Amino acid sequence: MGWLARQCSAVGLLAASLACGATPAPPAANEAAVALPPFIVEEIAKGPPWRYAEAPGYEVLSRCNDATTRRVYEMHVQLHEVLSEILPPALRLKLTVPRSLIIYDEELQPAASQEVIRQILNTPAESPAAERFSLGPDRTFRAPEPRVRYNFLPNLRLWDRDAMGIFMIVRRDDFEPDRLSLTPDYVNFVVKRRIPALPAWFISGILDLYRQTTFVRGEMVTEPMEWVSPAQTATVKSDPKMAYPVQPFAAFLAAQLPPPVPGQEIAPLHLWQAEAALLVRWGLDADKRAHREALWKFAERSAVEGGREAVFQACFGFGFEEARTRLTAYLPAAVRRTLYFRPEKRAKVPTLALSNATDGQIARLKGDWERLEVPYVKAISADLAPKYLEQARKTLKRAYDRDDRDPRLLAVMGLCEVDAGNDAGARDYLEAARRIGPLRPRASYELARLRLAGWRAKLAVAGTRLDVPQTADVLQPLFEARELQPPLPEVYELIAEAWASSTAEPTRRHLAVLDEGIRLFPLRPELVLRAAELYAQYGFHEEAAALTELASRLAIDETQRPRLEKLRLKIAL
């Protein structure tokens, strides 16, 4: 349980994926604008057929010409290749489910937009305004209430817990691929969602660097950094010895904020963020970029082992004091130097083999995208969310009614029903999908959750718990989900819940999977508590005590606090 002691001591501290330059028109003074995700009705938007292709890590569904589609895909791959110069794939979110890239011709959208708006609002065509002002009860003129104006977002990235979808509207005759770039929001997403979670200093430093970066003709150009504040940056340039110093590494890497600067209004958080930015920039640039691999390896190992000096020494070949000296020496260059990142040799992007999309491919990719739109719409205009849900179900059902039984389609249909609160309907689709082929991570979790709920409902009358076969029935899809990316914390929580609900007595070896879950998600209170309760239930007191100590350091809510106190009492007996 040494890893657990390290975790205990370490606890302290919708935008488009691709920017195409399209900007919605500003609303009029008496209008409130609501930007909706795309709502594409096939019966209305007549035009060229959908085209489909698979590529490593992607599924592409396009209603643009093939040349434009290929160029968008190639640029997407090349942008990620350039990104690898500062952020390699090992330090980004990993997905077993291919990203869906849906590309739509802008010329097809305007013809459908107004009709779609009328459909989802269930209102007649808008008539010209008859009056600019109305006569109030006091016989004075008053301005009308603001009207809500709806428009469609031209580009959007949406995600589930195990998948990502990207929608782009592209101008057929005015498409400039060199204007595409990966937005800071996207990089923020793939860095912060990476499992195990990267250390705070690396996340802060890499995002600060990327915010100062632009894509120019296939390379990233990064402006000189700011050290703490404009005034401090000027001090570094004029007299580096008078600048605020680099803080000791041990406290910094543990995300401990430095003390306030006497006589200066500099927030400790700004000092810490400046050092994080300096460390990342030094690691990527200093000594003719000799430390890049060491920086990445240290970030990767720190995610599991913590930012200990022994780990740092193993990666860089020197210790904390030497690192602090080197960062101090590099600081004057950091505030002056513009950085350029591009691959020494570009990898050839395989030609995208496009063909006419089948009904099943259209329904699955488009329907899954429409499913992801529902919570987005609910957050900004709840009354429209049912229309989006209805559209998603209609799209998915179109292929199902034509006897398409692709397990990926069935899994999406099951997730759509889960999201809609229809667990009974969801289980039918998920069970059917599981009989045909493997499931994606979240679908495996939801199937196990529904199976456990089903067994509990049947056994509640007799007041009994799950027997061995029933326990295995629940655990099987959960262990399948463990083999996929990304890991899901709820998978490990449900494993603990299944064992707690079973008549089968797990061995220490059976419960080792919970150690794995806590290594991946050490800051997840519910997972830590469930594991601690299970260890205590079956007499593994040392493990239960260590997990209880870890739980006490986390942000426990009011519903979890009594469980923590009960654990403490049980362990003390």
Q: What is the DSSP track for 107-141? A: GGHHHHHHHHHHHHHT-PPPPPPS-SSEE-TTS-E
Tell me what the pLDDT averaged over the chain comes to: 88
Same domain, 236 and 277: yes
CA dist 573 → 535, 536, 561 (Å):
15, 11, 19
Same domain, 210 and 300: no
Residue-level pLDDT at 26: 41
Residue 361 lies in a domain: no
Residues 416-446 pLDDT 10s: 999 999 999 999 999 999 999 999 999 999 9
Least confident range from 28-37, 353-362, 420-429: namely: 28-37
Task: Name the band, by pLDDT with cuts 50, 70 and 90, for residue 117.
Answer: low
Report the share of the chain in percent with pLDDT over 90: 74
Same domain, 64 and 185: yes
Q: In sequence order, which ranges of 254-384 are alpha helices (DSSP H)?
A: 268-289, 292-305, 309-316, 320-334, 359-380
The domain that holds 486 is classified in CATH as 1.25.40.10
Residue-level pLDDT at 222: 98
Task: Name the band, by pLDDT with cuts 50, 70 and 90, for residue 279.
Answer: very high
Same domain, 470 and 512: yes
How far apart are alpha carbons 305 and 100 in whole angstroms?
Answer: 34
Same domain, 454 and 488: yes
Residues 445-468 pLDDT 10s: 999 999 999 999 999 988 999 999
Task: Name the band, by pLDDT with cuts 50, 70 and 90, for residue 135.
Answer: very low
CA angle 551, 552, 553 (to 5 degrees): 90
Across 300-310, average pLDDT: 96
What is the count of structural domains for the chain? 3
Comparing 392 with 143, which gets the higher pLDDT?
392
Same domain, 195 and 106: yes
Residue type present at position 241: K
Least confident range from 122-136, 296-310, 390-404: namely: 122-136
Of 320, 318, 330, 245, the closest CA to residue 286 belongs to 330
Residue 378 lies in a domain: no
Whether the pLDDT of residue 111 is over 60: the answer is no
How far apart are alpha carbons 531 and 552 in whole angstroms?
Answer: 14
Per the confidence metrics, is the pTM higher than 0.85?
Answer: yes
User: Residue 98's domain spans which residues?
Assistant: 3-121+148-216+347-355
Residues 6+ apart with CB under 8 A from 15: 156, 157, 183, 185, 186
Same domain, 157 and 11: yes
Residue 41 lies in a domain: yes
Task: Name the band, by pLDDT with cuts 50, 70 and 90, for residue 40.
Answer: confident
Least confident range from 73-82, 130-139, 185-194, 197-206: namely: 130-139
CA torsion, ordered 114, 39, 153, 102, to nearest 10 deg = -130
Q: In sequence order, which ranges of 148-267 are alpha helices (DSSP H)?
A: 184-192, 200-211, 230-238, 249-253
Across 524-553, average pLDDT: 95
Task: Name the band, by pLDDT with cuts 50, 70 and 90, for residue 3.
Answer: very low
